[in-house]
Amino acid sequence: MPSLEEAQKEIIEEFSEAADWEERYQMLIEIGDELPPLSSNLKTEDRLVPGCQSRVWVVPEEKEGKLFIQADSDSAITKGMIALLLRVFSGRTRDEIRSASLDFLKEIGLDKHLSMSRRNGLYSMVNKIRSF
């Protein structure tokens, strides 16, 4: 498993290959398509991320001091965003998650190219993960 910094670097490198934002949105959709579906019995109200325009479920499980996270969304782009967050956060300790820099989000341009509601949703997902 790559370090937290390496995982973020990999994402930055992947997105730097995209020619424009249309291609980056397509990448987000494809990344979300690779996320394993969440079982319907795990899609409960208490697992929903508040503040998201789309429905996003986040399910944590702690094993040997590390937090492993499953997630799903009913929106393709949002599913891609949560998939990126899982690549960075899942399998980390609570301290790593709390102290992780989110500079990769700015470096790939998500903070500038998402609508205000999607950007708020993205940071709501981060806050939900950090709350575990």
Domain ranges of the chain: 4-131
Q: What is the DSSP code (8-state) at residue 39?
A: P
Give the C-alpha separation, 132 to 128, whole Å: 7
pLDDT at 112: 81
pLDDT at 8: 95
Helix (H, G, I), strand (E, B) or coil at 58: strand
From first to last of its 132 residues, the chain has per-residue pLDDT tens of 899 999 999 999 999 999 898 999 999 999 999 999 999 999 999 999 998 889 999 999 999 999 999 999 999 999 999 999 999 999 999 999 999 988 899 999 887 888 888 889 999 999 999 998
Helix (H, G, I), strand (E, B) or coil at 101: coil
Give the C-alpha separation, 61 to 111, whole Å: 28
pLDDT at 58: 97
| Top-level class of domain 4-131 | alpha beta
Give how far the C-alpha of residue 92 lies from the chain's centroid of Cα atoms, to the nearest Å.
Answer: 14
Q: Annotated catalytic sites, by residue?
A: 52
Contacts by residues 109-113 (CB-CB < 8 Å, ≥ 24 positions apart): 109/15, 109/21, 109/24, 110/81, 113/21, 113/24
pLDDT at 124: 94
Q: Quote the Cα angle for 84-43-69, to 5°.
A: 35
